[in-house]
């Protein structure tokens, strides 16, 4: 599982790595929304976790841009915020985010939500290979 974490606080990134350690994720971290946006335009991720109050480009702007012009337009996104209000929930739904979590909820619910969002997709080439009949000489 390859995850992009866009958050300015190292403690939050360490919490995410700790909570998801059982899944052995590859975690790439950027601290600003702009760096996250540039990274998400060139590299595919299985999941993006981002804060809402990022410097330079907010989490909402980041996701809006990803949804319109990125290799990650269909990648599940989880927002992390200090508090969640109605406006944030409305924007999250409009941007089709998988979940919006407060920092307090992240420790307890993040792993479950990640496993719901990121389904293991079988490698099509491997499936084609194993479904072919074996030729004998």
Q: What pLDDT score does 34 carry?
A: 93
Say which residues have a Cβ less than 8 Å from residue 117's Cβ, sequence separation at least 6. 47, 76, 78, 98, 99
Strand 26-30 to strand 2-6: parallel, antiparallel, or no bridges (unpaired)? parallel
Q: Is the pLDDT of residue 134 over 60?
A: no
**Integer Cα distance of 36 and 66 in angstroms:** 10
Unique residue bearing structure tokens 């979590």: 101
Q: What is the three-class DSSP state of 37?
A: helix
pLDDT digits (tens, 9 = 90+) for 94-128: 999 999 998 888 778 888 888 888 764 444 444 45
Read off the pLDDT band of 78 (50, 70, 90). Answer: very high
β-bridge partners, 47: 3
Q: What is the pLDDT of residue 131?
A: 53
Strands 47-51, 77-81: pairing is: parallel
Cβ atoms within 10 Å of 58's Cβ, excluding its own: 16
Q: What is the pLDDT of residue 66?
A: 93
Domains of the chain as residue ranges with CATH: 2-131 (3.40.50.2300)
With beta carbons less than 8 A apart as the criterion, state whether 8 and 59 touch. Answer: no
Question: Over the stretch 7-50, which tens digit does the pLDDT of each residue have?
Answer: 988 888 888 888 888 888 889 999 999 999 999 988 999 999 99
Please give the pLDDT value at position 135.
55
**Chain segment 56-68, per-residue pLDDT in tens:** 899 999 999 999 8
Enter the pTM of the model: 0.81
Q: How far apart are CA 67 and CA 75, in angstroms?
A: 9
């Amino acid at each position: 599982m390859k995850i992009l974490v866009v958050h300015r606080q190292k403690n939050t990134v360490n919490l995410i790595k700790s909570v998801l350690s059982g899944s052995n994720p590859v975690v790439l971290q950027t601290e600003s929304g702009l760096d996250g946006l540039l990274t998400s335009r060139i590299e595919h991720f299985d999941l993006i976790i981002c804060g809402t109050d990022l410097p330079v480009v907010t989490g909402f702007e980041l996701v809006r841009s990803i949804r319109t012009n990125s290799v990650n337009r269909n990648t599940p996104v989880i927002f992390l915020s200090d508090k969640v209000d109605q406006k944030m929930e409305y924007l999250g739904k409009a941007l089709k985010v998988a979940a919006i979590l407060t920092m307090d909820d992240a420790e307890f619910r993040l792993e479950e939500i990640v496993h719901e969002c990121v389904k293991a997709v079988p490698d099509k080439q491997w499936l084609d290979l194993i479904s072919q009949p074996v030729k004998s000489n």
